[in-house]
Amino acid sequence: MPIYKMTDKNGKNIRKDGLQKYRVRINYTDSFGKSHQIDRVAFGAETAKQLELQLTQKLNAKEIASKMTIGQLFTEYITAKRSEVRETSLDKSLRILKKNVLPTFESVRIDNLNVPMVQKWKQELSEQGLAIITRKNIYGEFRAMMNYAVKMEYIPKNPVITAGNFKAPLEAKKEMLFYTPDEFKKYISAAKNYAQEAEDGGSMYEWNYYVFFNIAFYMGMRKGEIYALQWTDIKDGYISITKSIAQKLKGGDRITPPKNKPSIRTIQIPEPLRAVLSEHYERCKKAVPKFSDDMYICGGERPIRDTSLEKTNKKFADLAGVKRIRIHDFRHSHASLLANEGINIQEIARRLGHSNISMTWNTYSHLYPREEERAVKILNTIV
């Protein structure tokens, strides 16, 4: 038996605080055929049994590690992750690991992965000319997969963490891009003229882009959340945000929950956007055969597409004579406008659906110049 009662030289049981002293012994053979023995001591029969179980589990994990490759770990990791994350996150992990990690490490045993190997991989990745944020994302996915191996006790520590993340050279922080109210007015006016000209030419579809960018600016919603909006989500002057649509996924679009719990929210619609939505609703009822309130606000039976949205955004900016910004920057435009007007940071975080206020504050705190002026004004009154 691997558990033995320990006795003194007189053959008497050794006890401590009334508990019998036990020796837990595990014998095993390594992958090279060499025999080994592990000896541990425990007080109390129950503690000894638990120790035996722990040692056996660690040995089993070690045996798995001596046979498992990173390619096999990848398969197990993705399977485990499937029930824990949104499909968009899973798809991202799949693509990044398949493209950037497996080509180098797929056949490497997980217990053979070491820091020099990871450092060499990092150097090769850097030589590809990828942006620092891209390299950091790749590193993050690799680190997470190897953290899973540590969690499962296949390996004692993660060499990817020891190697460290990519570091960017010191450079000036990029300025956040967003539209001021005046810039947005020019942009959306150009968008409206473009949609009207298309309608005059027989196409009503371009109005979907005009409405999309109005929603993005006035509501600060994420792109996928706007894609998923149906007319049934609007009630009594409020929009209920309960879902998102992910495009570019294998097998087509996917309706998913929002990014996090605070992203499920109900937001009041500003008057300018109410007018835009009301006009669009009447327009759709007249132009769309078999119109239904279950249809998507921006697209009808199917949401407008990512690729066409990007192209149209650039086109509207050029027509308006304003700088080009990304789709996500309309969200920044919304938050920046509210921050500049001194709106409470908690309300901005709620509207954006941020998981915590610190995220909002770290992004937009520099846009609160009036708070400093107000603080000094109050202090100046104390004499």
Q: What is the pLDDT of residues 322-367, one digit of tens each?
A: 999 999 999 999 998 998 888 888 899 999 998 888 888 877 877 7
Mention the CATH class of domain 181-371.
Answer: mainly alpha
- Kindly report the CA angle at 282 between 227 and 290, in degrees rounded to 5? 75
**CA–CA separation, 320 and 315 (whole Å):** 9
pLDDT greater at residue 320 or residue 111: 320
Please report, for the chain, the start and end positions of each structural domain, with discontinuous segments joined by +: 3-57, 70-163, 181-371
Nearest to 333 by CA among 130, 164, 176, 106: 176
For residue 278, the number of C-alpha atoms closer than 13 Å in the C-beta half-sphere is 10
pLDDT greater at residue 357 or residue 141: 141
pLDDT given for residue 229 in this prediction = 96
Which strands sit side by side in the sheet containing 238-241, from one edge to the other? 234-235, 238-241, 265-268
Nearest to 212 by CA among 303, 82, 343: 303
In whole angstroms, how far apart are CA 289 and each of 76, 142, 280? Answer: 48, 49, 15
**CA–CA separation, 360 and 347 (whole Å):** 10
- Over 90: is that where the pLDDT of 176 sits? no
Amino acid at 347: E
The DSSP H or E segment spanning 39 is strand 35-43
Token pair, residue 106, equals 């797929």
CATH of domain 70-163: 1.10.150.130
- Over 50: is that where the pLDDT of 199 sits? yes
- Kindly report the CA angle at 381 between 380 and 383, in degrees rounded to 5? 90
pLDDT given for residue 368 in this prediction = 63
Amino acid at 367: L
Amino acid at 232: T
Phi first, then psi, for residue 152 (nearest 5°) are: -80, 0
Q: What is the pTM of this model?
A: 0.63
Lowest-confidence pick of 4-8, 20-24, 45-49, 222-226: 4-8
Enumerate the β-bridge partners of residue 27. Answer: 37
